[in-house]
Structure 1
Amino acid sequence: MESRGYRPAGPLLDISLITGRMTEVFLPHWICVDDVRKPLEQFAVLHMDDCGDAVEKVSEVSPSHVKLAEPVFSPRAVLMRAGFPVKVYCNMLLYRTNTAFLTLHVYLIPRDPALQQVNAMDRKESSYGYKVIQKPDPEKSLKMNDYFFLTSDLEAAEVSPKVDGLHTGIKLRYPRGKPNFFEVYVENANRNFSLTLRPDREDQPVWECSVRKGPVHIHFYSFRTKDSLGKIGAATITSDKEMLLNLMNDLKQEELKGFKWFLKNRDVSSGFPQIPVTLLDEADASDLVDLMMKTYSHRAVELTKDIFKQINRNDLVEMFPGTSFGSGYR
């Protein structure tokens, strides 16, 4: 579409009409029209069929939609004339690692649902071990092709990209390939901290959020010690019971139900004695930890790790000392 002087302004929609006839249709867009002069001349709709692509004029423009009269249904998308800066509504996408050293990937992209699918950002970040942090998006529209800077109130936080040791901004644009992103690295995050997004040469932030420690946090760090004989051993900051309780509290109700199912149906040859079913069925998270510690003692940790794997909570397995150091943020 750039060859025709247009840029994307709304999602591509494949619309079909089963019966009857429709006189008009409203298609969504993500452009802020407050500063757009003569919007009817700037907006258009992409029409796609077996004969090729065509650009159609719109009959009305609202803050969230354009109206197309007498539509012939086919895959369609709202377009905007290129060549002058416009403001768009944007998404902020945050992903975090689940390791000792916190790393965040922060994306700033136009509010196009297709971008997350086309670039497979969720799948890509997940394949690297990153997890989503849900945060609100900017309320105000942001100007395309402007540069934006991300900063943190945590002195230990390192924000990239950088050039010659100085922070550089990321240009807001419609990504043709893999979107660029900010990386925030914190080696030892010992408190909550905030992130702030500002346009270049402006002091007023357009977006702020707090990154808070989640239910799985620094209590699960372990460290190495030497006893009086010089032997290396492991010491944990919290007891096994406290650790298991914190992890159990992170399970949803269905996951806790699945955990108890696997606990009840373990092979007797595994060497773990059975806990009475009547006690398990009525147990909440804290009761379950008490039962397991009373029945299995220190082996409760080993058993919990096994069952976490069976209910697909490997992220909690990583929180155990000796597996990997972990810190959860939200």
Structure 2
Amino acid sequence: MMKDSSDWTKLEPEVNSTDEDEASTYSLKSEAGNFECSVSGLRWVCQEKVSFKYQFCSSEEPMKRMEMMKYMPADITVISGKLFEVYLPHWIFIDDIPEILQKFAVLHIDDCGDVVEKVSEVTSSHVKLSEPVFSPRTALMKMGIPVKIRCNVLIYSKAYASCTVLHVYLIPLDPALKETMDKNKKDFKLIQSHVASITTTKERLLKMLEDLGQEEFNKFKWFLRDSDVLAGLPCIPCSRLENSDILNLVDLMSQTYSQKSLEVTKNIFQKINRNDLVQQ
């Protein structure tokens, strides 16, 4: 069973940086017990004294290959060492996701290529690996379901004689990305870092469609074949709509209309007399 957050002893890593253009290395040492890195949120369980290090690195090329397998990145941590259990952090809200173990995986990268491994446990903040063999690792999540993600709101400031300039960024709760932002904004001062959450277009679309009755849902799909209602946007073929449920329809609309999916949905809601849902 996954331990409560109070069961983990937080340790501050030793940070080594030899070049501004290279990622910093974080070194940690611990006795036997349960520990958490205060920088990355990485957790580990060891039965004896251990020493290991990790660093954030780019996973652009592996992620291109993972997208072809219908996975998307949720978080990335790269470490080396021998530990009994490791818990990789992620930034996905999982409360409304069924069969959660089937949705997450871990990317293992070595000289032989990429291997996607199943995880043994998923909690609101971490995925668990038992007796891991280390290499660059990324927590992955299956594509095709709308999700809400935890984010950092970063506010940087720089004072000039005539004014103060603020730069505001909304980024996933990914310490690797924050480290990059801090380096890019080294001439600015970080004045606030706030954890927030955002709702994806697909999740908003799902919430809206869930309020429809079955007859209304059938009418909604019928209007997706009406070129007049779609105002120049492509119709979705009848063969693809006929047996689609709500989740399938969210995917179809997202693929067909992208960011205009919400606009299309609200137009059709007006057609089926569900103006009460237009404000969602």
Q: Please, what TM-score do these two structures have when normalized by structure 1?
A: 0.39
Q: TM-score scaled to structure 2, two decimals?
A: 0.45
Larger Rg: 1
Q: Larger strand proportion, structure 1 or 2?
A: 2
